Amino acid sequence: MNPHAVLLVMNAGSSSIKFACFRQASVDAAPLPCLQGELVDGGQQRRLTLATGDRCWEEAVSARARSGGAEEALGQILDTVCRLVREGAITPEAGTIAAVGHRIVHGGEAFAGPVVITADVRQSLEQLVPLAPLHMPHNLGAIDVVSARLPEARQVACFDTAFHQTCPPAARRFAIPRHYHDAGLKRYGFHGLSYEYVARRFAALTERLPRRVVLAHLGAGASLCGLLDGKSVTTTMGYTPLDGLVMATRCGSLDPGVVLALGARFGLSVPEIEAVLSTQSGLLGVSGVSGDMATLLAANDPQAEEAIELFCRAIVRETAAAAAELGGLDALVFTGGIGSHSPAIRQRVCQGLTWLGVSLSPQANREAALESRLDTGSGPALWTIKTDEQLVIAEHVLQVLKRLG
């Protein structure tokens, strides 16, 4: 990439679309962020926010992008970024978009690292939609919009599942007949791009990564990852992003008998069961109020409080389970929208882990910035670190492009 070529990163999720632009001063230099943005889906209140190093602003969202689907919203983002690049607004001079990196939630068995997106790769990714129905259609939609509008740009897929390839075989297996496991019914784990950044940043902040670390990515989607000597050895999400912790609209861990009962007793079809577990459960389903944690914390409602309690109980339980697999706990790091921004949730979780020696400083927790130490100086280290999946994707894309020459 030359100094005027831009790398665009697209993170098309189930509730928002995040994007960022990077440039590179030289072949071996780290990517330099030059634009960050997000389109937040609030129905008629959709807004496109952008920020460079010296200013922040909002772009008007077109009527089509306000009322249409993800394709129209992605199209507006691309139009906006292309205009800014052409105008030289985010590079020293007018530039071009040379490559686009995509966050892809599920890599299945086929993809253990970043790959250039070809027609065959795109077809293979389509087969993984049933494994992450809330996310994969958005991920693939972003690829298709870029292909249509920027056919010359090289696209690279970066996978959330790749980080967990280091989990031992037993940690990836369900207790089901082996032929189902061999057909791909196994634990994959997710949020890997976030965990990769947070683990690396934590090591930089502390000069040496502790041996036994639990990373807690808490947001609309939520999971934990146990690191042993910097490698993922256990994580709460499994075959799909439905497993593990209670989430905004996803159920988390569930007795399989409940799934059977939804069909046999309540007569729900497979698509209807999927909708219940993916979009009608979690914080939303329990509270009947909202899947948004800030809304629930502000509500004076016993059902909202019950949803919060279930969320925190699941985190405490799974942190303890991860610590058991790690042989102890040296550090707990919070990230994600809730993990980085909710002192109340961090406090509740830490209160449930005092038996592990966790000792949260109330003042440090209240005053925490986006990178802060939260413990009292005894017991496991407690931190909050804002994740940056976009930067990790940019780095992976540049590594792929460098290999290709």
For residue range 148-177, what is the model confidence (pLDDT) as tens digits? 999 999 999 999 999 999 999 999 999 999
Distance in angstroms between the alpha carbons of the first and the last residue of the chain? 10
Instruction: Find the range with the poorest average confidence among 55-59, 102-106, 285-289, 390-394.
Output: 55-59
Q: Which pLDDT score is estimated for 300?
A: 93
Query: Count of CB atoms within 10 A of residue 178's CB?
Result: 8
Query: Count of CB atoms within 10 A of residue 86's CB?
Result: 13
**pLDDT above 70 (res 42):** no
Please tell me what DSSP assigns to residue 14.
S
Q: What angle, rounded to 10 degrees, do the helices at 389-404 and 192-206 form?
A: 100
Q: Which pLDDT score is estimated for 67?
A: 55
Instruction: Find the range with the poorest average confidence among 60-74, 217-231, 319-333, 354-368.
Output: 60-74
Out of 160, 243, 375, 388, pick the active-site residue.
160
Query: Count of CB atoms within 10 A of residue 154's CB?
Result: 17
Question: Residue 46: what are its φ and ψ, rounded to 5°?
Answer: -55, 140
List, in order, residues 6 or more apart from 38 with CB less than 8 Å away.
Answer: 16, 17, 18, 19, 48, 49
Cβ(123)–Cβ(115) below 8 Å: no
Instruction: Find the range with the poorest average confidence among 36-40, 97-101, 325-329, 382-386.
Output: 36-40
Edge-to-edge strand list for the sheet holding 96-104: 56-59, 47-51, 32-40, 16-23, 5-12, 96-104, 154-159, 115-116
Question: Considering the entire predicted model, what is its pTM?
Answer: 0.94
What type of residue is 202? F
List, in order, residues 6 or more apart from 66 with CB less than 8 Å away.
Answer: 44, 46
Mean pLDDT estimate for the chain: 92
For residue range 21-33, what is the model confidence (pLDDT) as tens digits? 998 766 677 888 9
At 175, list the tokens: 């207790």
| Active-site annotation holds for 120 | no
- Measured over the CA atoms of residue 58, residue 63, residue 65 and residue 71, the dihedral's sign is negative
List, in order, residues 6 or more apart from 59 with CB less than 8 Å away.
Answer: 48, 49, 50, 76, 80
- Rounded to the nearest 5 percent, the helix, strand and coil shares of the chain are 45, 20, 35
The structural domains of the chain, ordered by start, are: 5-159 (3.30.420.40), 192-385 (3.30.420.40)
Q: What angle, rounded to 10 degrees, do the helices at 343-351 and 302-326 form?
A: 60
Nearest CA among 76, 130, 121 for reference residue 102: 121
Please tell me what DSSP assigns to residue 360.
B
